[in-house]
């Protein structure tokens, strides 16, 4: 199952299951049978990483508008509203966190982006989180390094890398 199919399946969930998944973004440690069943129905038979898929499924319904920007680029785009230092601190916390510690930090990022109406590339976020604490073969940079460079490229007046 591809990431795009995963998101199509999320979009097909009934309102009750969407709401249950959405609620788990703010309280990921509280068990919810409806959210579990919704996630399982979407995730079943996929080749996606379960933990990262679960995080993204919970966040998706907070801001389901798809875009072309990686999360750090989207946060940098929001910087035009005077939030650069605040978003830079949040990104630093995200980059330092292990995968299990990401849900509340990513929820805050998604909340900010929704308020600023800046879209996220959800399939890319899913792919990035699947590499968070275990890089894939052939990757030359950790995904955290890629995200840091995305941020720097987005906030710098001139490109930081050649």
| 160 within domain boundaries | no
119 in Cβ contact with 77 (< 8 Å): no
Q: Where in the sequence is the domain holding 39, given as residue range(s)?
A: 3-155
**CATH code where residue 54 lies:** 1.10.520.40
| 125 within domain boundaries | yes
| 58 within domain boundaries | yes
pLDDT at 10: 92
103 in Cβ contact with 55 (< 8 Å): yes
- Total structural domains within the chain: 1
Which among 62, 150, 71, 72 has a CA at the least distance from the CA of 107? 62
Give CA–CA dist 31/68, Å, rounded.
33
Please report, in tens digits, the pLDDT of each residue of the chain (162 residues total). 688 888 988 999 999 998 988 988 876 667 778 888 888 888 776 778 888 988 999 999 999 888 999 999 999 988 655 688 899 999 999 999 999 999 999 999 999 999 999 999 999 999 999 999 876 666 677 999 999 999 999 888 765 555
pLDDT at 155: 87
| 72 within domain boundaries | yes
pLDDT at 136: 65
| 161 within domain boundaries | no
| 162 within domain boundaries | no
pLDDT at 147: 95
pLDDT at 28: 65
| 73 within domain boundaries | yes
The first and second tokens of residue 10, run together, are: 């999320």
């Amino acid at each position: 199952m591809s990431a795009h199919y995963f998101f199509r399946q999320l979009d097909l969930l009934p309102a009750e299951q969407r709401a249950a998944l959405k609620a788990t973004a703010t309280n990921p440690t509280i068990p919810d049978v409806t959210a579990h069943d919704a996630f399982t129905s979407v995730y079943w038979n996929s080749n996606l990483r379960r933990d990262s898929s679960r995080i993204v499924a919970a966040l998706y319904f907070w801001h389901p508008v798809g875009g072309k920007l990686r999360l750090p680029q989207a946060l940098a785009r929001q910087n035009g509203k005077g939030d650069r230092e605040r978003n830079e601190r949040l990104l630093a916390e995200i980059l330092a966190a292990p995968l299990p510690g990401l849900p509340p930090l990513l929820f805050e990022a998604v909340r900010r982006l929704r308020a600023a109406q800046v879209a996220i590339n959800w399939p890319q976020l899913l792919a990035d989180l699947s590499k968070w604490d275990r890089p894939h073969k052939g990757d030359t940079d950790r995904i955290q390094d890629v995200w840091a460079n995305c941020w720097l490229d987005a906030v710098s007046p001139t490109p930081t890398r050649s």
